[in-house]
Structure 1
Amino acid sequence: MDGQQVCNDSKLYKKSTTKEEKKNNVLQLWGNERTMNLNPLILENIRTSYYFKVNLRKLKTYHEVVDEIYYRVGHLEPWEKGSRNTTGLTALCGGVRGVGAGGIVSSAYCLLYKMFTLKMTRKQVNGLITHPDSPYIRGLGFMYIRYTQPPQDLWEWFEPFLNDKEEIDVKAGGGHVMTIGDMLKRFLTKLQWFSTFFPRIPQPIQQTIDRKLPLP
């Protein structure tokens, strides 16, 4: 084999490898590809909020969004503290599934949906959940996974972090500190997240997850 043939073969191999890497980096979305599987009320408040329509519209890149999370996010609730009229509604769950009173939607959920509009890659999501600078960057990365990835893939995403001891205060106004690991166990076992719900995990998959989870 002459040198020219070796060179050509090498170029073909690199081209093939690059193509395969790009394919593996594509993160397929599960469920509703328009709503991100969010509660309709929350989604409507996100889309109509000044913060999302004006401030976040200026952000065009993944790194800009990560910086915005670092400076703006201090909890992981869907609504800002004290902004929601919950008179007559059951605490936390907001009454009937998918129904609740409006309020000021949180910067966390606005940024969560902004990430969805950017159609993030697998590499970018991995960058979020391993980010060293803020637990809220990591927290929103894990929430993005919980909302957008197939239920059968959740264990593979979360399992390496189930014993993660980094702490995060998830409640608007503070007062509900948990470790990243405990938060992920909640994501895997509970549908309810404050005044909203995560997508339902099919029962056979849920049973498999429950068997794998370490005992408390």
Structure 2
Amino acid sequence: MDAKAGNSDEESVPTKQTSKQSNILPLWGNERTMNLNPLILTNIQSSHYFKVNLYELKTYHEVVDEIYYKVSHLEPWEKGSRRTSGQTGMCGGVRGVGAGGIVSTAYCLLYKLFTLKLTRKQLNGLISHCDSPYIRALGFMYIRYTFPPANLLEWYEEYLEDEEELDVKAGGGQNMTMGAMLRQWLVKLEWFSTLFPRIPVPIQQKIQKHLEVRPLPPHAVQAASERAREDRKYERGGGGGGGGGGDRERGRLVREDIRRDFLRDDDRRVERDRRDRDRFREHERRDKDRKYKERSPKRERSPLRSSHHRQRDERQRRDRHH
């Protein structure tokens, strides 16, 4: 989760060189890892599929065809291959390839796209592709992992009401519309067993405000209203009556549901930052203690201790004489 490089607020501000007219895409964060979790990246680079099969694909169009034929979900791990016992934190940390599982075809192809250094024209071709929703989804995921947070809404704006459906879960069973998926990526860090790069709080708040005033599609209103009703045991009976009053109430529930998601993610970011600071301070303290001990002169033997030994020897001699 773990986009350590380039996660500061200052780096999140887009520059004029990466304007919409340029064919060169902006790159935010780590230029080697694509801001992927280290365990996922290690498994991608070590997988036979990436090293052998995808190595043979040299062009953008070959990779797009591979996505069309091979991708069937958007989880980072294949179904049943992830072993999480005894692990903590985001993906359990880096404990070798065996600690992860079988990395998914989708994430291998996502990283393959990153190695191709996509142009703006190619990325637009991905997110507007008409043959497979998974081709479009990997294009949007590429944006989420590599673009400056300030640019995310600009790219997702046009597709927030997109009704094309896809099943994002390994093994099936979790259908989402493209628009609902993009909204989730804007307000939540978690994506199955990994985390997206952190969005700085000021930018997250702007995104939040924009989504609150933007009308949601009917299915999103219904789903969010049901979740809010279950969480808060909403008791009004009948579910919203008729006319504009019911629509306003559903809209209020949707906004509160989204706001709770954002605050929960923000609390997790604060807690993670606090733990990192505590670990850093503990490391500094131990380092200072070690250096102090190295500089301190060795203590001489205490004269009291020598006197004690003499007294003991004297007692032993007396005992032998008696």
1:170 maps to what in 2?
Answer: 168
The 5 A counterparts of 1:121-200 are 121-200=119-198
Query: Aligned AA for 1:25?
Result: N
Q: How far apart, in 1, do the equivalents of 2:82 and 2:91 lie?
A: 15
Secondary structure of 1:140's aligned partner: helix
Alignment match of 2:89 (pick from 85, 93, 96): 96
1:83 maps to what in 2?
Answer: 81
1:52 maps to what in 2?
Answer: 50
Q: How far apart, in 1, do the equivalents of 2:181 and 2:149 lie?
A: 17
Query: Aligned AA for 2:184?
Result: R
Q: Which runs of 5+ in 2 are unaligned?
A: 1-18, 94-98, 215-250, 255-322
Alignment match of 2:68 (pick from 67, 70, 76): 70
Query: Aligned AA for 1:172?
Result: A
1:5 maps to what in 2?
Answer: none
Secondary structure of 1:168's aligned partner: strand
Secondary structure of 2:92's aligned partner: coil
1:206 maps to what in 2?
Answer: 204
Q: What whole-Å deviation, never above 9, does each CA across 1:78-125 have from its counterpart, x for those lacking one? A: 000000112245xxxxx3135254100000000000000000001111
Q: How far apart, in 1, do the equivalents of 2:134 and 2:90 lie?
A: 26
Q: How far apart, in 2, do the equivalents of 1:58 and 1:98 lie?
A: 29
Say which structure is richer in helix.
2
Instruction: Count residues in correspondence.
Output: 190
Query: Aligned AA for 1:48?
Result: S
Which structure is higher in RCO with an 8 Å CA cutoff and minimum separation 6?
1
Secondary structure of 1:24's aligned partner: coil
Q: How far apart, in 1, do the equivalents of 2:27 and 2:202 lie?
A: 21
Secondary structure of 2:166's aligned partner: strand
| Residue 182 of structure 1: how far off its partner (Å) | 0.2
Q: Which runs of 5+ in 1 are unaligned?
A: 1-20, 90-94
Q: What RMSD over aligned residues (CA atoms) do the two structures have, in Å?
A: 1.4
**Greater Cα radius of gyration, structure 1 or 2:** 2
Query: Aligned AA for 2:71?
Result: V
Please tell me whether the aligned partners of residues 91 and 193 of structure 2 are also in contact (alpha carbons under 8 angstroms).
no
| Residue 65 of structure 1: how far off its partner (Å) | 0.3
| Residue 28 of structure 1: how far off its partner (Å) | 2.1
Q: How far apart, in 1, do the equivalents of 2:71 and 2:161 lie?
A: 23
Q: How far apart, in 2, do the equivalents of 1:99 and 1:31 lie?
A: 22
